[in-house]
Structure 1
Amino acid sequence: MAPPAVDAFPEAPAPVEAGGKPERSSQTLTRALDILDAVRGGPISLPDLERQLGLSRSTAHRLATALVERRLLSHDPRKGYRLGPRLMDLGFLAHEATDLATVAQPTLDAISQRTDDATNLAIRDGDDVVYIARSASRRRVVVRHRIGDRNRIADTALGRALLLDAPSDVWTEYFPLEELKPAIEDRFTRHVDAEGDRICCIASPIRGASGAIVAALSLSSIPQYMTSERLEQAGRYVIEGADAISRQLGWGWKI
């Protein structure tokens, strides 16, 4: 078998960044991460890695071999390279280390401080939503839920947000079908209590690394503070906040 091809010209000495660290180190790391990303879709051969990433045979082989040695890749002589068991270990560790309420609390506080309204984080438990984090309203009329409180899915914007990905037959167990399409398009849901202070609530789903909805974030206020213009503005805050928490949980990230 012929030896692996080498680059036609030797590389120039790596430039040195401020602090004395060579740029080549960061380039090598970036290329290794590109290889992991390329293997996400399934086994890939060394020639395909070269073509896909624009690497020489020697560079692709050197990096892939190093990743195999660290168990970040596995190699099958017939099928090529695939993701290795160490990545699964790291994924489980990251998942266990991520506490949803702890991750979300700074975002809840930031939205409440910006709007003066109450914010809540909830998860689904059967036919209920369960509040697992909150930030209090700064207004005279206080909208308050305690951590651990429950509410029926059908009575909340949070419940609507938690079910945005559900099949239509599941959605219609709780809500009118005509509410589903606008909620998906707006990316936030709405609910107004029929009794008492007629609390207005808007909510947006939070997604985990797999893309599945794992929780929802809401903002609650009273009608006098929730004009049509402010509803749209608050909706943007809720969407941005839910997306920020989702990204911290791994949603939308590549390896």
Structure 2
Amino acid sequence: MAGNTGQPGASVISRALALLNAFDERHRSLTLTELAERADLPPATAYRQIKELVDGGALVRNSNGEYMIGRMIWNLGLLAPVQTDLREVASPFLHDIYAATRATVHLAVREGDRVLYIDRLSGHASVPVVSKVGSTLPMHCTGVGKVLLAHAPADVYERAMTTLTRVTPFTITQPLRLNEQLSRVRRDGYATTIEEMTLGACSVAVPITVGTTVIAALGIVVPSLKRDRPRLTAALHVAAQGISRSMTAT
């Protein structure tokens, strides 16, 4: 929640940003009162600002009278150069992997201390997952997240180690154990999860690099990795290398 936005000196833009930042993964829809409280704004001020955001398409009001992020915000996000170029370049590779496996395929980047899903392919035969395009999840319990955390800046890495929340009974919450896993990710070039984010779902993911920098992660979610992990890892590496070459050429 933003502080001091209710003070007389706060600008219109800072108040609008505070209202938009009131939404997160756990707060996808909010009432007027909740928005005002989370943005630290007087209800009357929040109401006027929200009305303008709704009129402009930045917010929408659902049938329950609660407010949600509007499509305009997502459309603007897609204009970010790295994400736009990356999604366009990676798209055919994601489709190739999905066509060969019929499993959920993820393309993700790091956003702050979380993993942001910028593309996903899945079908009726895919394992159910909680990820959605545009959503964020913890890094320590997702395959793509572990790849990104293994190559994250030191301050991000340190914060993550102090906030290892348990999502399922199999989520790794011991810093030493996770640190060992992330060391193997850097050494072996791939990460795995076993029911750490969703029961019945396992994943394997690899990094996408440009030069020596890991810019994203490519992953796949399946019911089990006992038999197919080498095959899936090899396919992901081939796709990641293709995406890396294409990104370098753009």
TM-score by length of 1: 0.53
Q: How does 1:65-214 map to 2 (within 5 A)?
A: 99-137=85-123, 139=125, 141-143=127-129, 145-166=131-152, 171=157, 173-174=160-161, 176-194=178-196, 196-208=198-210, 210-214=211-215
Q: For 2:197 and 2:191, how far apart are their aligned partners in 1?
A: 19
Post-superposition offset of 1:142: 3.7
Post-superposition offset of 1:127: 1.3
Structure 1 match to 2:217 = 216
Q: 2:238 aligns with which of 207, 215, 240?
A: 240
Of 108-117 and 170-179, deviating more is 170-179
Q: Per the alignment, in what secondary structure is the counterpart of residue 217 of structure 2?
A: strand
- CA 1:152/1:141 → structure 2, altered by over 3 Å: closer, same or farther? closer
Contact conserved, 1:204 with 1:217, CA < 8 A, in 2?
yes
Of 138-147 and 126-135, deviating more is 138-147
Q: Deviations over 1:134-162 (max 9, x none)?
A: 11145164446321011111221111111
Q: Per the alignment, in what secondary structure is the counterpart of residue 240 of structure 2?
A: helix
Aligned AA for 1:231? R
Q: For 2:194 and 2:244, how far apart are their aligned partners in 1?
A: 26
Aligned AA for 1:102? E
Kindly report the root-mean-square deviation, in angstroms, between the aligned alpha carbons of the 2 structures: 2.8
Q: Note the residue ranges of structure 1 that are not aligned, 5 or more in a row.
A: 1-94
Contact conserved, 2:103 with 2:126, CA < 8 A, in 1?
no
- CA 1:201/1:195 → structure 2, altered by over 3 Å: closer, same or farther? closer
Number of matched residues?
Answer: 154
- CA 1:112/1:160 → structure 2, altered by over 3 Å: closer, same or farther? same
- CA 1:163/1:245 → structure 2, altered by over 3 Å: closer, same or farther? same
Q: For 1:246 and 1:132, how far apart are their aligned partners in 2?
A: 16
- CA 1:170/1:125 → structure 2, altered by over 3 Å: closer, same or farther? closer
Q: Note the residue ranges of structure 2 that are not aligned, 5 or more in a row.
A: 1-80, 162-174
TM-score by length of 2: 0.54
Report sequence identity in percent. Answer: 28
Q: For 1:134 and 1:127, how far apart are their aligned partners in 2?
A: 20
Contact conserved, 2:150 with 2:186, CA < 8 A, in 1?
yes
